[in-house]
Amino acid sequence: MSEPSPTRPRSERARTAILAATRDLVAEVGYEQMSIEGIAARAHVGKQTIYRWWKSKSAILAECVLEGLILPSRELPPDTGDLRDDLLVWFRGALHELGDPANASLLRGLVSAAADDPDLAAVLYERLTGPQEASMAARLREAEADGEIDSALTSTAVIEMLFGTIVYRILSRLDVGPDLADGLIDTLFDGLRGAK
Amino acid sequence: MSEPSPTRPRSERARTAILAATRDLVAEVGYEQMSIEGIAARAHVGKQTIYRWWKSKSAILAECVLEGLILPSRELPPDTGDLRDDLLVWFRGALHELGDPANASLLRGLVSAAADDPDLAAVLYERLTGPQEASMAARLREAEADGEIDSALTSTAVIEMLFGTIVYRILSRLDVGPDLADGLIDTLFDGLRGAK
Amino acid sequence: MSEPSPTRPRSERARTAILAATRDLVAEVGYEQMSIEGIAARAHVGKQTIYRWWKSKSAILAECVLEGLILPSRELPPDTGDLRDDLLVWFRGALHELGDPANASLLRGLVSAAADDPDLAAVLYERLTGPQEASMAARLREAEADGEIDSALTSTAVIEMLFGTIVYRILSRLDVGPDLADGLIDTLFDGLRGAK
Amino acid sequence: MSEPSPTRPRSERARTAILAATRDLVAEVGYEQMSIEGIAARAHVGKQTIYRWWKSKSAILAECVLEGLILPSRELPPDTGDLRDDLLVWFRGALHELGDPANASLLRGLVSAAADDPDLAAVLYERLTGPQEASMAARLREAEADGEIDSALTSTAVIEMLFGTIVYRILSRLDVGPDLADGLIDTLFDGLRGAK
DNA sequence: ATTTAAACGAGACGGTACGTCGTGTCTTGCG
DNA sequence: CGCAAGACACGACGTACCGTCTCGTTTAAAT
């Protein structure tokens, strides 16, 4: 209904170039050292074109994350009937991916950026956990119905615990080896009391 | 024999003022917005005095953390014989403390700073978990001997899991309520299968 | 043969609005601070419409001057038979007009603009002196014929001397009082030697 | 009496480099096209060093003028007893100098800059006329005593008339030939009525 | 009446320069 | 020689305009 007087449309070319430059720079020099001026230069774009559409460096990053330019996303594997096994497979994969030094470094940059930008935080953590969340909820319900587990935790809590641990290790710069996965999944299912 | 060339000793007054100014500023404006010039001005200190003794903003912060000026530390409570109960009490306290908005915000700043300063990271995470680690190890051993648990995890892993979850929630800006403690401790001990 | 393809004629509405906006802005904020964007906004006109017809800020100003929107023009008074008296009357009027602070300020802006635009310079100084020049030449010839003067200067030189002095005082921000007129006219006619 | 706490003194090296760069640039590209950034780059100086000591482009120019880096200054010639002749010699020289295209262009730039900076205006016009003013006053008094003239004008007025005319011709981009000097001096002494 | 092509208002674009802030280094005189 | 003060060269910030470039709409002359 509204008729915003006709004007030159936003340049998709510029938008894409900016996101790509940001993706490259954050990987090359890190979030803190990356400057908006540098992004503009790399993208052959005027600074104003950036400021026209984004309000901060972290907002550009948020869009990169949203577009999947930065963090890969990992779906839960197909249901094999054994939730514990499926989770283990999936979690090992996630660990392997995020544990790679380049990705670990990138993740630290993103966390740093998200630490003082709630909007980026929302996007980042949604991107990190979102894709798994829904199917995880369904699986937990099934497993509970099957008697495989007696769930005391929501899918959100499970995911937060797993990712929280990974992120914590990455932030504190501890190794993120594959055996971490086994220990966590074991504890998650059996608890410290161990399997009966 | 020794003839310590006549030299003026480092000013404790200046050192203290700098740390105090840093502590105040990081709380007031956040880590990113805090500048070394701002610290110098607030501490009535020349910039050179800062650069003479610290190599970066995060290094000052690291010293603040080391001196206990910033993060409170929480010891494990005395052993009542029931590890699960003791952990619950302790963890509820830690959650309460870190969940306070002011502390949460401060923690985000510290994490952000530590994300690209490994030295600060070491100090910060040591400060966060260190005091609990040793006694936790002892307790786990005892509990295992008593048959209370069948430990599959090291004390480090337990602590990382608990703190990882808190830190994750704080970073993602989710509420950190006291019930989180119960859920996590339950799962930690019983696993998803639940208590027998 | 010629087939002037059908086209929309230039909008007089836009042209007028642009000149008016320029006239207003140069008075309000001065030449340097006046921007083409500001003119476009004030005139509710697209920037392109300005760039289509004028090549610079000073060119718009030149057209304003040409249209008489900015500088008033002052003709020589009717011939009363006494050239000296006529000049005095006229010059006092010119001084009064240009000496008014608002006009003085405007004149400084115009001079500034003309200083690096020869085209504007031509228009501006023609506008300033042109109307008087022709009749001045005739009067000088008559006065010479009558023996009133023994002209050694062309009308151009006389005018330049008079306007030069006014402009100089305005540029150097000295007062331009009415007594300046008497002194100058006296000297112009009698010279430093004074009347016989 | 005041004791401004001891601090690093202003760098004469920087100050000089800035003035020299300004002098060069204003001649090379003109006042309008000269940027503070360009001055800083040419002088190998931080922009802040400029902004710390000068409040505008024209203020730097004013200091250049004050230091005699830009406009040459021309003293009145020694007294030969004939004021008219002395003035003629001096004025021809001034005309020759200012009439040189490079200097004319420079003068237009300075006038333009002075048009919206009263401080520069004061410095510029003082520099232009100041050195002559005092001796001119003395000469006029002597000449009057000798009966050479019957002065109706102050030294200031004489100088303004002469310089006003030159400046006016330079601004309006008319030729400034040597014969202009003769005409002006003739009129100045004899008036339009001519010599007796 | 329909066609048609330039003029129009709007405003996004790649740039340049602005004036400010913070960096890390340096240069003073004082204690 | 450490210190408070602060000037220095440098680089990035976020803003203002530059002159050019699309957009869809308007409009008057030539069909």
Longest Cα–Cα distance in chain C:
74
| Dist CA C102 CA C110 (whole Å) | 12
CB contact under 8 A, C115 and D112: yes
Distance from the B91 Cα atom to the nearest Cα atom in chain A, whole angstroms:
15
| Dist CA A131 CA A134 (whole Å) | 7
Any alpha helices (H) in A30-117, and if so which ranges? Answer: 36-43, 47-53, 57-66, 83-99, 101-115
| Dist CA D98 CA D180 (whole Å) | 13
Six token digits for residue D20: 């020299």
Contact status, residue A121 vs residue B171, Cβ threshold 8 Å: yes
User: 10 Å Cβ neighbour count for A65?
Assistant: 23
CB contact under 8 A, C115 and D114: no
C111–chain D Cβ distance below 8 A for any pair: yes
Q: Which residue has the tokens 């907002």?
A: A59
What is the structure's pLDDT at B53?
A: 96
Q: Give, as ranges, the nucleotides of chain F with any atom within 7 Å of a protein CB.
A: 1-31
What is the structure's pLDDT at D65?
A: 94
Chains C and D touch (3+ CB pairs under 8 A): yes
> Positive or negative, the Cα torsion across A115, A119, A124, A125?
positive
Give the alpha-carbon dihedral of D23, D24, D29, D31, to 10 degrees: -10
Convert the pLDDT of each residue in C16-32 to its tens digit: 999 999 999 999 999 99
Mean pLDDT for C138-145 is 84
Which pairs count as long-range contacts for C155-161, CB under 8 Å and 24+ apart, including other chains?
Answer: C156/C129, C157/D180, C157/D183, C157/D184, C157/D187, C158/C188, C158/D192, C159/C129, C159/C132, C159/C133, C160/C129, C160/D165, C160/D168, C160/D169, C160/D172, C160/D174, C161/C188, C161/D161, C161/D164, C161/D165, C161/D184, C161/D187
CB contact under 8 A, B171 and A167: yes
Mean pLDDT for B81-110 is 88
What is the structure's pLDDT at D3?
A: 59
What is the Cα D132 distance to its own chain's centre? Answer: 11
Convert the pLDDT of each residue in A26-38 to its tens digit: 999 999 999 999 9
Of D108, D163, D188, the CB nearest to C191: D188
The identity of residue D121, as a single letter, is: A
Distance from the B124 Cα atom to the nearest Cα atom in chain A, whole angstroms:
8
What is the structure's pLDDT at B26?
A: 94
What is the structure's pLDDT at C2?
A: 47
More confident residue, C37 or D92: C37
* Exposed / middle / buried, residue D195 (Cβ in 10 Å: 0-12, 13-18, 19+): exposed
**Which of A5-19, C68-82, D97-111 is predicted with the least confidence, judged by mean pLDDT?**
C68-82
Longest Cα–Cα distance in chain A:
71
What is the structure's pLDDT at D120?
A: 95
| Dist CA D185 CA D168 (whole Å) | 16
More confident residue, C81 or C13: C13
Residue A63 neighbours by CB under 8 Å, 6+ apart: A19, A54
A133–chain B Cβ distance below 8 A for any pair: no
Convert the pLDDT of each residue in A54-69 to its tens digit: 999 999 999 999 999 9
CB contact under 8 A, A192 and B152: yes
What is the structure's pLDDT at B5?
A: 60
DSSP state of B70: S
Distance from the B34 Cα atom to the nearest Cα atom in chain A, whole angstroms:
13
CB contact under 8 A, C115 and D125: no
pLDDT of A130 higher than 90: no
Contact status, residue D112 vs residue C111, Cβ threshold 8 Å: yes
Residue B63, classed as helix, strand or coil, is helix
Convert the pLDDT of each residue in D30-71 to its tens digit: 999 999 999 999 999 999 999 999 999 999 999 999 999 998
| Dist CA A74 CA A94 (whole Å) | 7
pLDDT of D96 higher than 50: yes
% residues pLDDT > 90 (chain C): 48
Convert the pLDDT of each residue in D3-26 to its tens digit: 567 889 999 999 999 999 999 999
- Per-residue pLDDT band for B131 (boundaries 50, 70, 90) equals confident
C1’ F3 / CA B42, Å: 16
CB contact under 8 A, B187 and A190: no
C1’ F14 / CA B11, Å: 39
pLDDT of A2 higher than 50: no
Q: Please provide the average confidence, as pLDDT, over all residues in chain D.
A: 88
CATH 1.10.357.10 in chain C: give the residue spans.
83-190
Of A125, A160, A194, the CB nearest to B152: A194
| Dist CA B17 CA B79 (whole Å) | 39
- Give the H or E element holding residue D48: helix D47-53
| Dist CA B161 CA A128 (whole Å) | 18
Convert the pLDDT of each residue in B140-186 to its tens digit: 888 888 877 876 677 788 888 889 999 999 999 988 877 888 888 88
Radius of gyration of chain D (CA): 20
Give DSSP secondary structure letters for B126-170.
HHHHHHHHHHHHHHHHHHHHHTS----S-HHHHHHHHHHHHHHHH
Distance from the B120 Cα atom to the nearest Cα atom in chain A, whole angstroms:
9
What is the Cα B19 distance to its own chain's centre? Answer: 17
What is the structure's pLDDT at A78?
A: 84
Nearest CA in chain C to D30: C116
Q: Which residue has the tokens 């839960």?
A: A76
Which chains does D contact via 3+ CB–CB distances below 8 A? Answer: C
* Exposed / middle / buried, residue D3 (Cβ in 10 Å: 0-12, 13-18, 19+): exposed
CA dist A184 to A156, A159, D173, Å? 16, 12, 87
DSSP state of B65: H
| Dist CA B109 CA B101 (whole Å) | 12
State the SS3 of chain C.
CCCCCCCCCCCHHHHHHHHHHHHHHHHHHCCCCCCHHHHHHHHCCCHHHHHHHCCCHHHHHHHHHHCCCCCCCCCCCCCCCCHHHHHHHHHHHHHHHHHCHHHHHHHHHHHHHHHCCHHHHHHHHHHHHHHHHHHHHHHHHHHHHCCCCCCCCCHHHHHHHHHHHHHHHHHCCCCCCCHHHHHHHHHHHHCCCCCC
Which chains does A contact via 3+ CB–CB distances below 8 A? Answer: B
Q: What is the CATH number of domain A83-190?
A: 1.10.357.10
Distance from the D86 Cα atom to the nearest Cα atom in chain C, whole angstroms:
15
C1’ E8 / CA D108, Å: 38
CB contact under 8 A, C194 and D121: no
pLDDT of C193 higher than 70: no
∠ CA D92-D96-D101, rounded to 5°: 155
Cβ under 8 Å to C: D residues 142-181: 149-153, 157-158, 160-161, 163-169, 171-174, 180
CATH 1.10.10.60 in chain D: give the residue spans.
12-66
C1’ F3 / CA B46, Å: 7
More confident residue, A128 or A151: A128
| Dist CA B154 CA B140 (whole Å) | 8
* Exposed / middle / buried, residue C74 (Cβ in 10 Å: 0-12, 13-18, 19+): middle
What is the structure's pLDDT at D107?
A: 93
pLDDT of D2 higher than 60: no
Contact status, residue B187 vs residue A191, Cβ threshold 8 Å: yes
Give the alpha-carbon dihedral of B105, B111, B115, B118, to 10 degrees: 140
CB contact under 8 A, B171 and A108: no
Cβ under 8 Å to B: A residues 31-70: 31-32
Supply the angle between the helices B12-29 and B101-115 in degrees, to the nearest 10.
110
Contact status, residue B171 vs residue A111, Cβ threshold 8 Å: yes
∠ CA C106-C109-C112, rounded to 5°: 150
Of C109, C114, C183, the CB nearest to D152: C183
Residue A58 neighbours by CB under 8 Å, 6+ apart: A113, A114, A116, A117, A119, A120
Identify which of D141, D142, D168, D167 has the alpha carbon closest to the alpha carbon of residue D154.
D141
DSSP state of B76: P
Q: Please provide the average confidence, as pLDDT, over all residues in chain B.
A: 87
∠ CA D139-D143-D147, rounded to 5°: 170
Nearest CA in chain C to D153: C183
Contact status, residue D94 vs residue D166, Cβ threshold 8 Å: yes
Contact status, residue C186 vs residue D149, Cβ threshold 8 Å: no
CB contact under 8 A, C32 and D116: yes
C1’ E10 / CA B33, Å: 38
B29–chain A Cβ distance below 8 A for any pair: no
Query: What fold is seen in the domain A12-66?
Result: Arc Repressor Mutant, subunit A (1.10.10)
User: 10 Å Cβ neighbour count for D152?
Assistant: 18
pLDDT of D153 higher than 80: no
Distance from the D95 Cα atom to the nearest Cα atom in chain C, whole angstroms:
15
C1’ E20 / CA D51, Å: 10
Q: Which of A87, A98, A168 to mutate to test the interface with B (most CBs of B within 10 A)?
A: A168
Convert the pLDDT of each residue in B28-74 to its tens digit: 999 999 999 999 999 999 999 999 999 999 999 999 999 989 987 77
Of C151, C183, C189, the CB nearest to D157: C183
What is the structure's pLDDT at D177?
A: 79
**Which of C10-14, C39-43, D98-102 is predicted with the least confidence, judged by mean pLDDT?**
D98-102
CB contact under 8 A, B165 and A161: yes
C133–chain D Cβ distance below 8 A for any pair: no
